[in-house]
Amino acid sequence: MSPDATCWTLIREAAGGDPAARERFARVYQPVVRAYLAARWRTGGRDADDAAQDVFVECFRAGGLLEKADPERDGGFRAFLLGAARNVARRHEARKHPVAGPLPPDLLADDTGPAEAFDRAWAKSLLREAARVQGEAAQRAGPAALRRVQLLRLRFGDGLPIREIAARWGEDAAKLHHEYATAREEFRAALRGVVAFHQPNAPPGEIDRACAELLALLG
């Protein structure tokens, strides 16, 4: 996929049957859909995994959701995906009175549902993508960049303070703090790229605000 690709590029390619695009689409969005369904059915006894698979069947089938996705829709693809998950959930909830035929093309979501779970899963998914982008860039850049990626993982993944990491690595803590600041900037740059991918044509200030909101959702 080209460097100037957007989520709509991915969606068009996935709708056209491109295997790599479909794999990436499922990798990025499946955890989001499943988190929404699991939160919605926390006490309902329904299978969130099966329903999540149904969402992607609806996305990928000929004439399905991806072919109908509208870049001009308010809220962009995120809102469309949430609407799709809600409609599949309604279908599962109405199985005693099944509705024949495809999902309605207008995927307005008029119930509240566990939208907060969707938002948090969306944030986690984009942050994972940013970590992947940073990791791939580090592979190209060499050992120093890979070390900064590992530093972030130890700091945030394992919750280790910089002084403890410095002691483990036999490094000066002040020097490691400097590397940590560089690593954070590299991650922010990766996150800005991921957010821009999902919000094409958004001005830089809006991208920065969206990044801050994603980080805030996770505390």
Supply the CATH number for residue 94's domain.
Answer: 1.10.1740
Range of the domain at 127: 119-217
Let me know if residue 31 belongs to a domain.
yes
pLDDT at 109: 45
Residues 6 or more apart whose CB falls under 8 angstroms from that of 151 comprise 165, 176, 179, 180, 183
**pTM given for the model:** 0.78
User: Do both 93 and 139 map to the same domain?
Assistant: no
Contact 92, 51 (CB under 8 A): yes
Q: Considering only CA atoms, which of 121, 124, 133 is closest in space to residue 194?
A: 133
3-class secondary structure, 200: coil
User: Which residue among 79, 113, 147 closes a domain?
Assistant: 113
Let me know if residue 184 belongs to a domain.
yes
pLDDT in tens, 30-89: 999 999 998 888 766 678 888 999 999 989 998 888 888 888 777 788 888 888 898 888
User: How many domains does the structure of the chain reveal?
Assistant: 2
User: Do both 158 and 78 map to the same domain?
Assistant: no
pLDDT at 44: 63
Number of CB atoms found within 10 A of residue 216's CB: 9
Higher confidence at residue 47 or residue 142? 142
User: Do both 104 and 38 map to the same domain?
Assistant: yes
User: Which residue among 91, 113, 135 closes a domain?
Assistant: 113
